[in-house]
């Protein structure tokens, strides 16, 4: 993703802590809020360059949060657990429903490197020219580019809020030099913000980036710690295919035991063992159709 080899990998304080002046300052003007969002993005940029951060897992978990926010924008009530179920319990031929489709859209968005071709395939209602324009914007600062991309997309298709937000976060990622999209704007914006245009939308986007970048930094620190523990206990796992299973947990928000590259009984035993070791959590509280995650 990003490499910042000059940053000490074992400096956990830097990983977890956003400077207090970013989190505590109350800025009102566009210029002041833009300064804070730039500082927050810079800190997140350094964190995302850390080798001990499980990047794919972080993006997948942020995708779940983005989907949860977008579902709420549409007036639906599904929360994270229900979104996980809508996707992971699908059988061949099943339809995920509106909430599940929103979650799938965000998961697809974070899986692939940002490109016009990839976004055009996954963003219905958003033309390739508009996507290319949103990803270009060489004369614009990062958050302004994202806000303008969303502004143009919502002007063209006012009901296509999810594609517009995906495009905005893709434009932001391209502007700061990230290979993959990290959901920030959907996590930080409010429903009323999607009706704003021009400077009002840009102001809302700057505020959203400050809030969501702080959340992403804290989540990255938590996941880095959890991933380190999972890697530490991995040598204790004797099941054939355990290494590939551990890699799945390090890259996915949630996994069903039946999706692991082991026979069903061995997969269930492995999940129970990892729970006992405190390396993964059971996410549903159910006795069957369980989901596990770091």
Determine the pLDDT at residue 13: 52
Q: What is the mean pLDDT of the chain?
A: 90
Q: Is the pLDDT of residue 26 over 80?
A: no
Determine the pLDDT at residue 11: 45
Q: Is the pLDDT of residue 7 over 60?
A: no
75: burial class by Cβ within 10 Å (0-12, 13-18, 19+)? exposed
Q: Is the pLDDT of residue 190 over 70?
A: yes
Mean pLDDT to the nearest integer, 48-76: 95
Q: How far apart are CA 189 and CA 198, in angstroms?
A: 15
> Whose structure tokens read 């699908």?
90
| pLDDT, tens only, 219-275 | 999 999 999 999 999 999 988 889 999 999 999 999 999 999 999 999 999 999 999
Q: Is the pLDDT of residue 20 over 90?
A: no
Kindly state the tokens that stand for 287: 């006795």
Determine the pLDDT at residue 15: 56
Q: What is the pTM of this model?
A: 0.90
Mean pLDDT to the nearest integer, 106-132: 90
Mean pLDDT to the nearest integer, 204-233: 95
Q: How far apart are CA 15 and CA 222, in angstroms?
A: 9
Determine the pLDDT at residue 54: 97
Q: How far apart are CA 14 and CA 8, in angstroms?
A: 9
Of the given ranges (18-27, 35-44, 159-168, 237-246), which has the lowest mean pLDDT?
18-27
Give residues with Cβ within 8 angstroms of 110, minimum separation 6: 59, 60, 62, 63, 180, 181, 182, 183
Determine the pLDDT at residue 6: 36
Q: How far apart are CA 145 and CA 229, in angstroms?
A: 38
Mean pLDDT to the nearest integer, 56-71: 97
* Angle separating helix axes 264-276 and 242-249, nearest 10 degrees: 60
Residue 28: what are its φ and ψ, rounded to 5°? -115, -35
Determine the pLDDT at residue 177: 93
- pLDDT cut 90: percent of the chain above it: 73
> What's the first-to-final CA gap in the chain, in angstroms?
21
Determine the pLDDT at residue 91: 84
Q: Is the pLDDT of residue 140 over 70?
A: yes
Determine the pLDDT at residue 18: 73
Determine the pLDDT at residue 134: 87
Q: Is the pLDDT of residue 77 over 90?
A: no
Mean pLDDT to the nearest integer, 178-188: 96
Residue among 247, 248, 103 at smallest CA distance from 186: 103
Q: Is the pLDDT of residue 98 over 80?
A: yes
């Amino acid at each position: 993703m990003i490499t910042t080899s000059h940053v000490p990998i074992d400096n956990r304080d830097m990983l977890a802590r956003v400077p207090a002046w970013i989190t505590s300052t109350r800025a009102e003007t566009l210029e002041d809020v833009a300064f804070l969002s730039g500082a927050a993005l810079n800190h997140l940029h350094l964190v995302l360059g850390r080798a001990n951060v499980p990047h794919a897992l972080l993006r997948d978990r942020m995708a779940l949060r983005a989907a949860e926010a977008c579902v709420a924008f549409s007036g639906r009530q599904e929360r994270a657990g229900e979104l996980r179920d809508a996707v992971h319990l699908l059988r061949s031929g099943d339809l995920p429903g509106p909430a599940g489709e929103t979650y799938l859209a965000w998961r697809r968005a974070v899986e692939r490197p940002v490109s016009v071709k990839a976004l055009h395939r996954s963003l219905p209602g958003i033309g390739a020219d508009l996507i290319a324009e949103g990803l270009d914007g060489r004369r614009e600062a990062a958050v302004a580019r994202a806000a303008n991309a969303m502004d143009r997309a919502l002007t063209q298709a006012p009901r296509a809020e999810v594609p517009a937000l995906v495009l905005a976060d893709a434009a932001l990622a391209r502007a700061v030099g990230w290979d993959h999209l990290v959901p920030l704007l959907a996590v930080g914006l409010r429903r009323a913000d999607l009706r704003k245009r021009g400077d009002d939308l840009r102001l809302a986007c700057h505020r959203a980036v400050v809030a969501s970048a702080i959340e992403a930094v804290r989540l990255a620190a938590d996941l880095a710690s959890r991933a380190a523990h999972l890697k530490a206990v991995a040598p204790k796992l004797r099941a054939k295919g355990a290494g590939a299973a551990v890699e799945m947990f390090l890259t996915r928000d949630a996994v069903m035991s039946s999706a692991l590259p082991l026979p069903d009984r061995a997969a269930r035993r492995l999940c129970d063992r990892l729970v006992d070791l405190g390396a993964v959590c059971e996410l549903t509280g159910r006795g069957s159709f369980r989901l596990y995650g770091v």
